[in-house]
Structure 1
């Protein structure tokens, strides 16, 4: 087999909601056979690393219904149709935390669950942050907390921080801290 490409033969949309769309696709496999794929379509999301001048990581605590528990995460949110990731990052930062930033530096992006979903998260780091007032959506209930990097690691060990984007952010900051010590 020269290629792993799977040609879509037929798509059936099972659900179209505010956040996701669920499709069933019949695909032609590289070996000539066919199979079915269950796919979740998502418009994408952003996440923002906010590290204050006081060496505190700004996090949000919120209930996650899919998990039936509360998690502590970096601020993040869904992109609106046609919205640029940078604009989403600026909007979500203020909405969820009340913080504003002089600049947002693009760090990179990653897929959350490529086995069944096309969601891509764009990660930014806030520069020159100033604390302000939250502007939550009417269905959002979020507590803002500030922790040291060491406290974030403890929260990870206790699985209070237990999502990929926040674990990625903590590891990113640790590597950045180590690089700074070496220079």
Structure 2
């Protein structure tokens, strides 16, 4: 059986600064009509920042949807027409006031394909130094930086302070890389 659905129509429900929401009418593989609510997003980057002491950088900030402070890897939305690696450079400057001599793409993935098309570009950054000229942070963005070791990062997952997929993915990747280096 072919699993592809056929889009019959689409209606924009909401168009905001970060997301757009559409309601689609589709024809399912068995010939039935169904509705799909889809969140459209331009895409984002996240970056595992590792210093020369083998610590990773986390950004602590309030997340209103969760009603709590979370600890996350630096991340940000890709601006229209911006190359994802340039987004990493911009976000490192704005959020953590660092530049990296080495930035490498690890992988890409969709954050929640059941209802959103947000594509995340996961990078790792090494060989860090302070930025020469800092860009302003986004309005309303209040951040606290925290350097942690791998065991400390794993403890933050266990405590629920690291609770988002991008950061858990970064920590697991970091752990796997350390395991591979120690073979």
* Shorter-chain TM band: over 0.9
Residue aligned with 2:80, SS: coil
Residue aligned with 2:52, SS: coil
Q: Distance in 1 between matches of 2:130 and 2:162?
A: 22
Deviations 1:113-168 (A, max 9, x none): 11000001101111211134674112210111101111000000000000000000
Aligned to 2:178: 177
Q: 5+ unaligned residues in a row in structure 1: which ranges?
A: none
TM-score (norm 1): 0.96
Q: Does 1:158 align with 2:155?
A: no
Aligned to 1:16: 15
Q: Pairwise CA RMSD of aligned residues?
A: 1.1
Deviations 1:44-94 (A, max 9, x none): 000011010011111100011111111000000001111111111110111
| Conservation of the 8 A alpha-carbon contact between 1:98 and 1:135 | no
Q: Distance in 2 between matches of 1:73 and 1:163?
A: 7
Aligned to 2:32: 33
Residue aligned with 1:38, SS: strand
TM-score (norm 2): 0.96
Aligned to 2:109: 110
Q: Does 1:80 align with 2:118?
A: no
